[in-house]
Chain A
Amino acid sequence: MARSVWKGPFVDGFMLTKAEKARSSGRNEIIKIWSRRSTILPQFVGLTFGVYNGHKFLPVQVNENMVGHKFGEFSPTRTFTGHAADKKAKRG
Chain B
Amino acid sequence: MARIAGVNVPTNKRVTISLRYIYGIGPKKAQDICTKLNIPDDRRVNQLSDDEILRIRELIDRDYRVEGDLRRELAMNIKRLMDLGCYRGLRHRRGLPVRGQRTHTNARTRKGKAVAIAGKKKVTK
- Residues of A near B90 (CB, < 8 A) are 76
Q: How many A residues touch B, CB cutoff 8 Å?
A: 10
- In the bound complex, CA of A72 to CA of B117 (Å): 33
Query: In the bound complex, do residue B84 and residue A66 qualify as a contact, i.e. CB atoms below 8 Å apart?
Result: yes
- Residues of B near A76 (CB, < 8 A) are 87, 90
CB of A12 within 8 Å of the partner chain: no
Kindly supply a per-residue 1/0 record for chain A positions 58-77, scoring 1 wherever the CB is within 8 Å of any chain B CB and 0 otherwise: 00000001100100111010
**Which partner residue on chain B sits nearest A60 by CB separation?**
B85
Query: In the bound complex, do residue A73 and residue B86 qualify as a contact, i.e. CB atoms below 8 Å apart?
Result: yes
- Residues of A near B3 (CB, < 8 A) are none
- In the bound complex, CA of A69 to CA of B87 (Å): 10
Q: Which of B84, B87, B115 contacts A65 (CB 8 A)?
A: B84
User: How extensive is the interface on chain B, given as a class?
Assistant: 10 to 19
Q: Which of B83, B87, B88, B118 contacts A85 (CB 8 A)?
A: B118
**Which partner residue on chain A sits nearest B118 by CB separation?**
A85
- In the bound complex, CA of A65 to CA of B87 (Å): 14
Query: In the bound complex, do residue A74 and residue B85 qualify as a contact, i.e. CB atoms below 8 Å apart?
Result: yes
CB of B80 within 8 Å of the partner chain: yes
Q: Which of A40-92 contact B (CB under 8 A)?
A: 65-66, 69, 72-74, 76, 83, 85-86
Query: In the bound complex, do residue A66 and residue B117 qualify as a contact, i.e. CB atoms below 8 Å apart?
Result: no
Query: In the bound complex, do residue A73 and residue B88 qualify as a contact, i.e. CB atoms below 8 Å apart?
Result: yes
Q: Which of B84-114 contact A (CB under 8 A)?
A: 84-88, 90
- A residues near B (Cβ < 8 Å) are 65-66, 69, 72-74, 76, 83, 85-86
- B residues near A (Cβ < 8 Å) are 80, 83-88, 90, 115, 117-120
